Structure 1
Amino acid sequence: MTEALEATRRTPGTPCWSSLMVHSLDTTEEFYADLFGWEYEPGPDQLGRYVRAMLDGREVAGIGELPPDRHLPVAWTTYIATDDADATAEAIRSCGGTVAVGPLDAGAAGRVAICSDPLGAIFGLWQAEAHLGTRRAGTPGTPVWNELITQDTSTVGKFYEHVFGHEARQHSTASADFDYLTLLLRGRPVAAVHGVGRSLPHDRGPHWMTYFEVEDTDAAADRVVRLGGRIVQPPRDGLSGRLATVADPEGAVFTLVHGRP
């Protein structure tokens, strides 16, 4: 059993899970079921109601319900794999980041922490045990890419290099007007950092963006609106795919993509 888990365990520093905390779990389940075809199974409930979204019987993401008295912004959180959440948390602190929650055990599933980088972008740490993270990828309805949207790449690029061992490489089209780093592990792209300067949304600040694969970006964006969500940035052609940035009915922002960025 251990060998089987190790064979599919994510390389430390790889985004491995996306999770959303909302005020109305039932309503949110319906939205994403209609949009992506997700079904749900109960997940760890140490911190309240939580479900795992499933496609073809495999986990793709998580959704939890906030306590009624917690009036927090609703946002998708990117979790980054680690083999030692406690040691990584210490590295985050020593490199100017913050550890807001944990590390703590999530039952038999693994060990978790919620952190932020020096410019305030929130992300999670996940030390896998029974739950290895997203188990289905590359098909519609699955997370396929994670990108940090921040003021500039210089400071935070070094932070992620030091904490997670990423190689931060400028994109081939990077320029004074296009500040973009690809984060690599063992030569393989695993995430990106996009510096947008003053274009950073004032109501969000630096944040990690989760990209979900869809068959048709324009049709999926229209469906988001019909289901009670909204379009933040209309469909457009990106670096290597057609993108649309949208928000669900509670305001959680994510990106639809046909063709991986």
Structure 2
Amino acid sequence: MPEDVPVKGLRRVELRSNDPAGSADYYRALFGWIVMPADDGTMRCWVGDRLAALIRRPVEWETPGWHVVLGGRPTALLADPAGVTATLDPGRVRHGPWAPPPRHGEPCWVELMTADTTDDYWAQHLGWTLRAPGEGADIKPFALFDAPDDTGARAIAGRLLVDEAIAADMGTSWMCYLAATDIQLVTDTAAENGGTVLIDPREVPTGVMAAVADPFGTVCTLLEDPIGWGGAWAAL
């Protein structure tokens, strides 16, 4: 695909875990993922016919945690000036604003959490534009990345500026959102299986969300029954 074509979604999310089998068991309990182990030790996790996540051990230079794999460009590893990374993969986009609505356990949104303004980097490399989420709203601390299309632009990712203390504590990264049909049930199941509920279910502009850390400390955000990619942002 030509490099001037905007990236329009995810191929998958990757979970880099020092215990791939343990991580797979935990998320299978939450979402009912169909987990298919490969000979190389990776775990391919499916929701129906769509690959939701790939779980594998990090290589020496990688940090454990979620990693986004974006579709539609030649293969590349991107790293912005703040050190946040993403992979480009030329395969078909499975998750995004032009894909089918997210099902339980599928990626449904991603959000760049950073202490530095690296908007220009991602806009340049992915063909995105940045906008405030409402009329007259300040572009900081939260904004939306849009991917343009012949029919107009659609919200494809969020960007949240966090203070340096939060960045030092949690790191800067792409936050992975996963769809949950019953968010209270998923948070209860997370706690029962060794996870930690960091934010109880609550209403936010995106919809009803919660945040949980798995037994290995990796955090994801849950979004209840999103109407489309990004929950409420799908309607903007």
- TM-score normalized by the length of structure 2: 0.80
Give the equivalent residue in structure 2 for 1:171.
133
Q: Report how far residue 171 of structure 1 moved.
A: 1.5
Aligned with residue 25 of structure 1, among 9, 20, 23: 20
Q: Bigger relative contact order, structure 1 or 2, given CA contacts below 8 A and separation 6+?
A: 2
* Cα shift at 1:157: 1.2
Q: How many residues are treated as equivalent by the alignment?
A: 216
RMSD, aligned α-carbons: 2.7
Report 1:116-195 matches (<5 A): 116-128=79-91, 133=94, 137-152=101-116, 155-172=117-134, 174-175=137-138, 179-186=141-148, 187-195=153-161
Out of 155, 158, 162, the position equivalent to 1:196 is 162
Alignment of 1:75 with 2:65, yes or no, is: yes
Judge conservation of contact 1:161–1:167 (CA < 8 Å) in 2: yes
Q: Which runs of 5+ in 1 are unaligned?
A: 1-5, 86-102, 104-112
Shift in Å, 1:137: 5.0
Tell me if the contact between 1:13 and 1:165 (Cα under 8 Å) persists in the aligned partners: no
Unpaired runs of 5+ in structure 2? none
Could you say which structure has the larger radius of gyration?
1
**Which consecutive aligned stretches of 4+ in structure 1 deviate over 6 angstroms post-superposition?**
none
Question: What SS does structure 1 have at the residue aligned with 2:90?
Answer: strand
Deviation at 1:65, TM superposition (A): 2.8
From the superposition, tell whether residues 83 and 15 of structure 1 become closer, same or farther in structure 2 (CA, over 3 Å). Answer: same
C-alpha contact (below 8 Å) 1:36/1:140 kept by paired residues: yes
Identity of aligned residues (%): 24
Do 1:180 and 1:192's aligned partners in 2 also have CA atoms closer than 8 Å?
yes
Deviations 1:12-58 (A, max 9, x none): 25333100111122211211111000012245x6xx42121012243
TM-score (norm 1): 0.73
Q: Is residue 35 of structure 2 the alignment partner of residue 40 of structure 1?
A: yes
Counterpart Cα distance in 1 of 2:197 and 2:55: 21
Q: Matches of 1:61 and 1:222 in 2, distance apart? A: 22
**2:66 is aligned with what amino acid?**
W
* d(CA) in 1 for partners of 2:134, 2:164: 23
Distance 1:77 1:66, change over 3 A: closer
Q: Using the alignment, how far apart are the partners of 2:128 and 2:58 within structure 1?
A: 32
